[in-house]
Structure 1
Amino acid sequence: MTPVLETPFRGDESIDEPGFARVVDAMLSAAVRSAMFPGFASEYHKLTDDERARLTRIFLEHTRRQPGFSAVVSVPDHATRVAVRRVREAVDAGAAAINVLPPHYLGPSRASVVAHLVAVLEAAGRIPVVLQYAPAQTGTALDAQVIARLAADHANLAYVKVESTPPGRLVEALAAGQPPVRSMVGYAGVQLPDALARGVAGVQPGCSFVEIYQRIWSLWQQGDHRSAATLHARLLPYIAYWMLDVELIIAAEKEISVRRGWFESAVCRGPGWQLDAQEHARIDAFIDEFGTELGIPA
Structure 2
Amino acid sequence: MEKFKGVYVALVTPMKEDFSLDTKRLYEICEWMISKGVAGLIPNGSLGEYATLTHEERAKVVETVMEASKNKVPVVVGTGAPATRDVVFWAEHAKQHGAEGIMALPPINYNPLENEVIYHYEQLSKVGLPIIAYNNPRDYATDLTPDLLAKLAKIDNVVGVKEFSGDIRRVHDIKAKTDLEVLIGVDDLSMEGPLCGATGWISGVPNALPEEGVQLFNLAREGKVEEALPLYRKMLPLFHYDAEPQLVQAIKYMMELADQPVGPTRPPRLPLTNEEYANIQKAYHEAVKPLSKQV
Range moving further from structure 2, 217-226 or 248-257:
217-226
Distance in 1, Cα, partners of 2:268 & 2:155: 40
Identity %: 25
TM-score scaled to structure 1, two decimals?
0.89
- Mapped to 2, the partners of 1:122 and 1:264 lie a distance apart of 36
Are the aligned partners of 2:171 and 2:196 in contact in 1 as well (CA < 8 Å)? yes
Matched, 1:195 2:187: no
Q: CA deviation at 1:9?
A: 1.1
Give the C-alpha shift of residue 84 in structure 1: 1.5
Distance 2:71 2:148 in 1: 37
Aligned-partner Cα distance in 2 for 1:146–1:222: 30
8 A Cα contact 1:162 1:185, kept in partner: yes
Cα deviation, residue 272, structure 1: 1.1
**Alpha carbons 1:22, 1:262 under 8 Å: kept:** no
Q: Give me the whole-angstrom Cα distance separating, in 2, the residues matched to 1:224 and 1:96.
A: 30
1:145 aligns with 2:142: no
Equivalent position to 1:47, from 49, 53, 56: 53
The equivalent residue for 2:94 is 90
Relative distance call for 1:264 and 1:243 in structure 2 (3 A) is closer
For each residue in 1:94-130, what CA deviation from the matched residue of structure 2 results, as whole angstroms up to 9, or x when unmatched?
111111111121222221121111110122x2x2111
Cα 1:7–1:287 change in 2 (3 A) is: same
Q: Distance in 1 between matches of 2:223 and 2:69?
A: 31
Mark the CA change 1:214 to 1:244 in structure 2 (over 3 Å): closer, same or farther: closer
| Runs ≥4 residues deviating over 6 A | none
Partner SS state of residue 153, structure 1: coil
After superposition, give the CA deviation of every residue in 1:191-221 in whole Å (9 maximum; x if it has no partner): 2333223211111112222222211112223
The answer to whether the 8 A contact 1:60-1:95 is kept is yes
Q: Which amino acid aligns with 1:217?
A: F
- Spell out the pairing of 1:24-35 with structure 2 (5 A cutoff): 24-35=30-41
The one-character-per-residue Cα deviations of 1:223-268 (angstroms, maximum 9, x if unpaired) are 321221221111112322x24533x221121122223333363x11
Alignment of 1:174-193 (within 5 A): 174-177=174-177, 179-187=178-186, 189-193=187-191
Q: TM-score, normalised by structure 2?
A: 0.89
Matches within 5 A, 1:51-130: 51-66=57-72, 69-123=73-127, 125=128, 127-130=129-132
Maintained 8 Å contact 1:78/1:102: no
User: Distance in 1 between the 2:86 and 2:63 partners?
Assistant: 18
State the 1:26 CA deviation. Answer: 1.4
- How far has the Cα of 1:294 moved from its partner? 9.5
* SS of residue in 2 equivalent to 1:223: coil
2:181–2:199 CA contact under 8 A, matched in 1: yes
Structure 2's unaligned 5+ residue stretches are 1-6
Matching residue's letter, 2:111? G
- Pick closer, same or farther for the CA change 1:77–1:243 going to 2, 3 Å: same
Q: Tell me what 1:12 maps to.
A: 18
Partner residue, 1:288 = 285
